[in-house]
Structure 1
Amino acid sequence: MGYPVWWALGFGGLSVIVLAVPMAVVLWRRRPVKVPPGFGLWLLLLAGYLLSALMLGESPPGTYGELGPGRLVGYGMRLALYASVLIMVLYLGNLTERELPQLRLVRMLGALFVTTVAGGLLGVLAPGFTFTSPVELLLPDWLGGNAFVQNLIHPTAAQTQKVLGYAMPRPEAPFEWANAWGSNVSVLLVWAVVGWWAHGGARQRAFLAVLAALAAVPVVYSLNRGLWIGLGLAAVYLVVRVGGRARIVLCAVAAGAAVAFALSPLAGLVAQRLDRPHSNDIRAFTVTATLAAAAHSPVIGYGNTRNAMGNHRTITTGRTSWCGSCGHPPLGSDGQLWLLIITQGFTGAALYVAFFAGAIRRHWADRSPVGLGGVLVMGLVLFYMFVYDGLVTPLTLYFVSFALLWRNAQRSAA
């Protein structure tokens, strides 16, 4: 509920790390602590990440760079995040229904969906909006100037990229990257539907319909093909899994929305994006280079990303006065799966997949609104890992969704 304040302060996605401390204190005081199924898999992933620190000073063939503050900061932040989201799950799962009602938690996520849509519209209407956060003012230059840290602590409305051949703002407020906004808006839409449609009255449903229509604008302007595919997969999932009258209503709503969209100016923008798959070559290069580098440390990876030699266009490393498009894309930057492979080897990637796939297997039979929504989010996690980094805020929302599934199972068993 208070996430916009955290974002304005400059904590944003790092707020879960700050809040993990008091959550851990609460858990310590109310021992014994219940743990969810799959808990051991994430502990193994954490243990593997600790071991991967042994490789921080190494650079595999085809990459370059030396061990420095940036590499250590990135490693430390990821480790803190992986530990913090697990603490958060334990905290949420150990609260009673009286302390935190399930529906209240779902509707809190729905409120964050409102914030996300508002941030997306801000990115479309005022893409240049930005300001210096208090955290940014307090950090020393060597830390605050790090590119990874800068994205986390410097609030901006949009990320400007030449996706269509010309500068185009892609909404990202109130999150750290445009792709993070895309992942988060789809996950939060799921919980808004559960809280305000499945468990709401006529007013809540009307409000959600208007909000979803407004959300279509930044969703399209995000130029985010992964988001578009994710929303399509979500629609197919719901049509297959819900039955009776609900399926008929869902199909009618989907058909009406499709017709309205096709007649709107937004359809032309989607067509332009599909005609310019400019990132395909970049992704192909980084994924290939990531797999090649990880093959030299397949079990524990390298602890952090590495810079590739050259890019998909040239072997030149770094930008020059005569080649502004030359660069050194960080390996593992095109999806959580590839990030895990370079940072923790194929072992870490397998543990990540097993954790979320296990949640789908255990809760597939839960056909309550929370069960259907939670399993859908777990499925989106496994799809998005090919195209989106889970860091920072997406992973937090994935784990809140996991906690909702676990809480639902505890209620059913009681």
Structure 2
Amino acid sequence: MTAGPAWPIAALLVGYPVWWALGFGGLSVIVLAVPMALILWRRRPIRVPHGFGLWMLLLAGYALSGLMLDELPPGTYGDLGPGRLIGYVMRLALYLALLVMVLYLGNLSERELPQLRLVRMLGVLFVTTVAGGLLGVFLPSFAFTSPVEMVLPGWVSENAFVQNLIHPTAAQTQKVLGYASPRPEAPFEWANAWGSNVSVLLVWFVVGWWVYGGRRRKAVSAVVVALAAIPVVYSLNRGLWIGLGLAVVYLVARVGGRTRLALCAATAAAAVAFALSPLASLVAQRLDRPHSNDIRAFTVSATVRAAAHSPFIGYGNTRNATGNHRTITTGKTEWCGGCGHPPLGSDGQLWLLLITQGFTGAALYVAFFLGAIRRHWRDRSPIGLAGVLVMGLVLLYMFVYDGLVTPLILYLVSFALLWRNTRSTA
């Protein structure tokens, strides 16, 4: 563990499995934001990255959206209760913690926290993620009651949003292929969060352990990436697969010379090995069963309609839709086990922003990450190329993955790496 003022980020990234086992998981960044804020306070004046005003406006807009928590857009139902308030407060605390985290990272010197050390911390978390994914594949029923879950009152711990964050589980079981299929999620809160995170962490793992690694690190990294293919396929996560494919295309387009030839050769070899493995048939089955398309189409269209009634500040939190893509019935019945009330904004960060912060919030989010790409596009260092790639993945994943909780942490650590890299290469 890193000593000195950089210890909170080491505790967050390297120590993440401990936080997960305790029941904090992604909420650990809120806890660690306290010492980060104290470190920042002693270092005034505080440097702020270009474009960060957009994130602060996004945060201010979310605070303002709390005025709409008691409102109900057409096509939804429910009263203002503890669940809605808990979700709002937790998201607000997370946004504040992320603001502190980015400023903390950017105000540490290269001596206090070298860029390569930070990248390799993300690489350690990638190894943890692969281990959690393998656990979800081979022991999908693994779960336990965390200490945090034990001490929280029932009316808090039984909230669905809170339960996903504080109750450690290895996999999320869904009937994706027509039968119960375990999808890895350890050590994160949802299977989709695992998919988003493993792709982002893979980018930094390759930079830290292969690009800047010696012979031994490269050998270890090759084994770890090969093992990662197992949970990546068993995740049945089409968004993840598309993201990895586009990442390869991006790198082939942006690197040159021998690096491009080596990348093409490695990609071709990996594709052949995969096609000859048993994993290929699982991918084919998943692509033949796009069962979630109708559900997503329903919730997305319902979210856009609801957001149109509060386009500037949204509703502060999600709302439950009346009925679903199959029926207008709300809730499961004896004759319709598939009936339900999907929460609006549950199919991607873009849609979550629309319902919680309106079109204004969604525009600020997109502008923030697009601005990062524009400012750092000319940075062709390994960290610059990797950071811009992650910013692009953020914009891709916002259509299919919620950013809360752990994905946003990794997105903004990646943003901070780009910001720090501008100073180190100047």
TM-score (norm 1): 0.99
Q: Quote the residue 2:138 is aligned against.
A: 125
Alpha-carbon distance in structure 1 between the residues aligned to 2:57 and 2:104: 20
Determine helix, strand or coil for the equivalent of 1:169.
strand
CA drift at 1:9: 0.2
List 4+ stretches of structure 1 deviating above 3 A: none
Matched with 1:107 is 120
Say whether 1:82 aligns with 2:95. Answer: yes
Q: Distance in 1 between matches of 2:373 and 2:118?
A: 20
Aligned ranges 1:256-405 → 2 under 5 Å? 256-405=269-418
Q: Give 3-state SS (helix, strand or coil) of 1:399's partner.
A: helix
Which has the larger displacement, 284-293 or 316-325? 316-325
- Measured in 1, the distance between the counterparts of 2:52 and 2:131 equals 35
* Matches of 2:66 and 2:334, distance apart in 1: 36
- Cα distance in 1 for residues equivalent to 2:78 and 2:333: 18
Aligned counterpart for 2:175 among listed residues 162, 180, 187: 162
Q: Partners of 1:351 and 1:30 in 2: how far apart?
A: 29
Counterpart residue number, 2:225: 212
Distance 1:180 1:113 in 2: 13
Q: 1:296-327 CA deviation, whole Å, 9 max, x = no partner?
A: 00000000000001000000001112211100
Is residue 52 of structure 2 the alignment partner of residue 39 of structure 1?
A: yes
Q: What is the aligned-residue identity percentage?
A: 83
Please state if 1:69 is matched with 2:82. yes
Q: Which one-letter code corresponds to 1:84 in the other structure?
A: A
| Unaligned residue ranges in structure 1 (runs of 5+) | none
Q: Equivalents in 2 of 1:262, 1:297: separation in Å?
A: 49
In structure 2, C-alpha distance between the alignment counterparts of 1:335 and 1:208, rounded to whole Å: 31
More deviation, 196-205/377-386: 196-205
Deviation at 1:86, TM superposition (A): 1.1
Give the superposition deviation at 1:328: 0.2
RMSD of aligned C-alpha atoms?
Answer: 0.5
- AA in 2 matched with 1:296: H
Q: Residues of 1 paired with 2:375 and 2:177: CA distance?
A: 42
Deviation at 1:207, TM superposition (A): 1.0
* Counterpart selection for 2:149 from 136, 139, 159: 136
- Please state whether the residue corresponding to 1:174 is helix, strand or coil: coil
Between 46-55 and 333-342, report the one with greater CA deviation. Answer: 46-55
| Distance in 2 of aligned mates of 1:254 and 1:294 | 42
Match of 2:235 in 1: 222
Aligned-partner residue type, residue 250 of structure 1: L
| Aligned position for 1:187 | 200
TM-score of the pair, normalised by structure 2 = 0.96
C-alpha distance in 1 between matches for 2:388 and 2:52: 17
Q: Matched residue pairs, number?
A: 413
Shift of 1:204: 1.1
Instruction: Tell me the SS of whatever aligns to 2:169.
Output: coil
Cα offsets for 1:331-364 (capped at 9, x unmatched): 0000000000000000000000000000000000
Aligned partner (choices 10, 18, 27) of residue 5 of structure 1: 18
